[in-house]
Amino acid sequence: MDVLRLATLLEELPTERTQLLDNLGRIRREVGPLTPELSDALADRMNVRRGDVHEVVSFYSFLQVPVDAVRVCTGPICDCAGSRGLLAGGAIEVPCLGHCDLAPVVLDGDAVRGGVTHSTNGFLLDPDELREPAALSQDEVLARLEAAGLTGMGGAGFPTWRKWEAVRREAPPRVVIVNADEGEPGTIKDRYVMELRPQLLLEGLVAAMRFCETDEAYIYLREEYATSRAVLEDAIAARGVPVRLVIGAGAYICGEETAMLESMEGRRGMPRLRPPFPAQSGYLGRPTLINNVETLAHVALILRGGWQPARLWSVSGVVAKPGCYEAPLDITLRALVEEHADGFTAEPGAIVPGGAASGILPPAALDTPLTREGLAEWGCSVGSAAVQVFPNGYSPVRLLAETMRFFAEESCQKCTPCRIGNRALHAVFDGERTMTREQVDEWLEAMALTSICGLGQAAPIPVRSAFAHWPELFEKMTA
């Protein structure tokens, strides 16, 4: 440890509790991985209880990991592409790194091995101009968002205009936060927006700030996206807007909006009970508008006029051109892959339509429109529109085991059914433990009904859909 560097850095670091994660990130980058001694030194400097800082350090995956560590993605698409074979020599295993178009993905320090590529279409190819949002009244903005029918692209699909209206009902000062945590396995679309159309995102963000009558705005960005960070920093400087980047530290759950608020306030990223919703009481108790990156890019286009309903689909797996494609909301899986990703490269087997909790589809669903209604018939949902196509030879049981491993590792462990249930189900599908179908169903019911956030509530969806579409693979459990 460079003691002199530490002493100088500690002097420079701000002492407000909201700066804790940022300070920890700087110590990791500029001094070294957070040891108990470094954690205590920062706690003393910030006048925070030492135990509180230890709690925060141990909550995040990356704070104790050197910045030049080699990280290997073992998310389902990378697992299917053989990434576990790359784990030799001290490399660290991490869940989805958000570069599924390059699977198997390895991060060497900040650099993606093999470089960053973009395979895309639609508005991401337009020139990234710095334009001011149109001067519209709050009522006009709401009317345009409502008429466009825009719903949140972060996964929950909540009507955007309703959320904006709810924030407007609350008294200022208000806050705007962009959710750029993009941790959902298979999801790469927000990275594409940030790297290819950063000014479009900022145009939507400035429109949101004007609507909320605030100049306090944050972008919560996942740590693994070094290229996005560099591009955003330049774009923010070029526009001259007061937007602060908050860099995460490898906790998927911090993408859940209330966990994100906790993280930004300098605590462990554990979801809050709702109500109150962030629109009523969010960052430091202020009314807070939280929108996903892609949502705000659509907002910018809608407020310019002439927007056609569409979304960005992340497409990965056994397709010729994995990437991020703009396509209609009701496109079918087959059309998405054949017309945009240049077709399948192997006989498709299990297909995940929208991220870990969206469910698992059989190949028989290839001609189903990827709408809420179309997917509901298969017990699935569109989630973050992250379509992952697995080959016929990749067992749905393995996919399910990997999915439950992901939930088990990323559960914040606040709710007992989520903490124990995901772990137990992972062990069952991994073949380490047996359970009857009735026992599995009891766990699923407890998780869905009593978990406080979407992670635990939705974890049963992939299990139930796999049971429904591949009953023969789970027959032995019905004993």
Contact residues for ligand SF4 (CB under 6 A)? Answer: 253, 271, 411-415, 418-419, 451-453, 455-456
Q: What is the C-alpha to C-alpha distance for residues 17 and 10, in angstroms, rounded to an integer?
A: 14
C-alpha distance from residue 261 to each of 13, 201, 211, 255, 426 (Å): 21, 21, 21, 10, 29
Span of 147-155, 262-270, 363-371, 432-440 interacting with ligand FMN by CB under 6 A: 147-155
Least distance to ligand FMN, CB of residue 188, Å: 12
Is the Cβ–Cβ distance between 126 and 440 less than 8 Å?
no
Is the Cβ–Cβ distance between 136 and 303 less than 8 Å?
yes
Handedness of CA 132, 137, 142, 144 (dihedral sign): negative
Give bridge partners of residue 106 from the DSSP assignment: 72
The answer to the question of residue 182 lying near ligand FMN (CB under 6 A) is yes
The answer to the question of residue 165 lying near ligand FMN (CB under 6 A) is no
Residues 288-327 that bind ligand FMN (CB under 6 A): 290-292, 295
Site string for ligand FMN, 443-472 (x = CB under 6 A): ----------xxx-----------------
Residues 193-222 that bind ligand FMN (CB under 6 A): none
Span of 286-294, 322-330, 365-373, 433-441 interacting with ligand FMN by CB under 6 A: 286-294
Q: Which does 327 bind (CB under 5 to 8 A by kind): ligand SF4, ligand FMN, none?
A: none
Q: Which is nearer to ligand SF4, 282 or 421 (CB)?
A: 421
Nearest by Cα to 375 from 384, 203, 138: 384
Span of 28-36, 90-98, 285-293, 366-374 interacting with ligand FMN by CB under 6 A: 285-293
Question: Which of 22, 79, 181, 216 touches ligand FMN (CB under 6 A)?
Answer: 181
Q: Which is nearer to ligand SF4, 197 or 423 (CB)?
A: 423
Span of 91-99, 104-112, 252-260, 389-397 interacting with ligand FMN by CB under 6 A: 252-260
Q: Which is nearer to ligand SF4, 116 or 427 (CB)?
A: 427
Q: Which does 411 bind (CB under 5 to 8 A by kind): ligand SF4, ligand FMN, none?
A: ligand SF4
Least distance to ligand FMN, CB of residue 444, Å: 17
Q: Which does 183 bind (CB under 5 to 8 A by kind): ligand FMN, ligand SF4, none?
A: ligand FMN
Q: How many CB atoms lie within 10 A of CB 238?
A: 12
Q: What are the residues binding ligand FMN (CB under 6 A)?
A: 152-156, 158, 179, 181-184, 253, 255-257, 290-292, 295, 453-455
